[in-house]
Amino acid sequence: MKKIDLNQKHFYNEEEARKYLEKIRWADGIPVCPHCGSKNEHYELKPKTSTSELRNGVWKCRDCRNQFSVTVGTVFERSHIPLNKWLLAVQLLCSSKKGMSTNQLHRLLGITYKSAWFMAHRIRYAMEQNFQNKKLKGVVEVDETYVGGKGKGKRGRGSLKKTPVFSLVERNGEVRSFPVERVTDDW
């Protein structure tokens, strides 16, 4: 597993967090309008004065004329919480082995409990998997495992009272896992 470096600048600077998210979302460097899907050379709106209400990273679409930023259409949209705190929260929630309580998140990020609850719910919602219409491509490997702890007073690693989980793994790609009733070769 890759070690996570929490000292990266996008975790502690809102402007760097925005640039980092733009690099991830718009990998080819061309902003895509989330309203109409256009890539038609949008232009970035710049604040005229330091007291202007316009913030950095706001773009205007040449086709539909709507304003947008990298956060439109994501869980970060319409949030007053700084983007760097969002990225740190995502990192903490995803890398925590046993999960993370909202209370712990609020203490680590230095935000209110209510804000931490809001963030945790949005991040968990984004983690929901919906693969109904998307097929895997290329070489797909199949495996199964049993999930669940040791039973009370039991020893060993038996599969009794554990949930069988079936996984499809796309080489260098996505993983799809789901619980099944039984794991046999006679489907």
Query: For residue 25, what are the contacts with CB-CB under 8 A and spacing of at least 6?
Result: 70, 74
pLDDT at 168: 87
What is d(CA 86, CA 18) in angstroms, rounded to the nearest whole number? 11
pLDDT at 2: 47
H/E stretch holding 179 reads strand 175-179
pLDDT at 1: 40
CA angle 63, 67, 68 (to 5 degrees): 105
Which residues of the chain fall below pLDDT 70? Answer: 1-7, 50-52, 129-133, 149-159, 185-187
Place of tokens 């980092």: 20
Which phi and psi angles does 144 have, rounded to 5°?
-135, 160
pLDDT at 148: 76
